[in-house]
A and B are shown apart, each in its own frame.
Chain A
Amino acid sequence: GENVEQHPSTLSVQEGDSAVIKCTYSDSASNYFPWYKQELGKRPQLIIDIRSNVGEKKDQRIAVTLNKTAKHFSLHITETQPEDSAVYFCAASIGNQGGKLIFGQGTELSVKP
């Protein structure tokens, strides 16, 4: 079946450093790629998303890049802060329509002051 692989599973950085999380997907028809942040004990919340007609998208300190040929996309967080510590999930829509969304396994990011 279709899947999304996410790496690394854990990531520890110093405050102020950059963090990069990578995902690969298997369905060449996928056209929507969101990133969710889940703080400890909380529900997931969307932080940024990208569609297949765009190669890069930025929102302040976070950015997402998409390489459709290689079927991978990445989350970049610059100038990390302790409040960025959380679990991050990537996801990919299955097919170009329909209701399926597959999530990666998650990355636990720890930002040390």
Chain B
Amino acid sequence: EAQVTQNPRYLITVTGKKLTVTCSQNMNHEYMSWYRQDPGLGLRQIYYSMNVEVTDKGDVPEGYKVSRKEKRNFPLILESPSPNQTSLYFCASSPDSPRETQYFGPGTRLLVL
């Protein structure tokens, strides 16, 4: 089944404790992206990757890192989480660019205490 998976789905952590949210797609998509969703603010793009060679900042990259070592995986890293990073996070992928249908993962709900 073609899909985007994220892990974990739910996470409670404390300020400053490094964490990684994994994202994997099995559709051989070039483009992958991370978004955070907060009430009243919609979906905001954190980072995106056009392909294994290229990653770039979205609108709200501060406090996050990403890596794209393989086409299928695009982990989101919070080196020192803070309470303002409490949010619902979505990973998404599309065949070549954001100008096509993006397929979203199920979301990861993060609470930073």
Contact = CB atoms under 8 A, between A and B. Distances in A.
B31 interface: yes
A20 interface: no
A106 B104 contact: no
Contacts, number: 63
A9 interface: yes
A46 interface: yes
A61 interface: no
B102 to A, nearest CB: 7
Interface in A23-75: 31-32, 34, 43-46, 49, 51
20 contacts: A9-B40, A32-B98, A43-B90, A44-B43, A46-B101, A46-B102, A89-B42, A89-B43, A93-B98, A98-B56, A99-B33, A99-B48, A99-B50, A99-B56, A101-B45, A101-B102, A102-B59, A103-B45, A105-B40, A105-B41
Interface of A: 1, 6, 9, 31-32, 34, 43-46, 49, 51, 89, 91, 93, 97-106
Given A100-B59, A104-B42, 6 more contacts: A6-B42, A34-B102, A44-B90, A46-B102, A99-B98, A103-B45
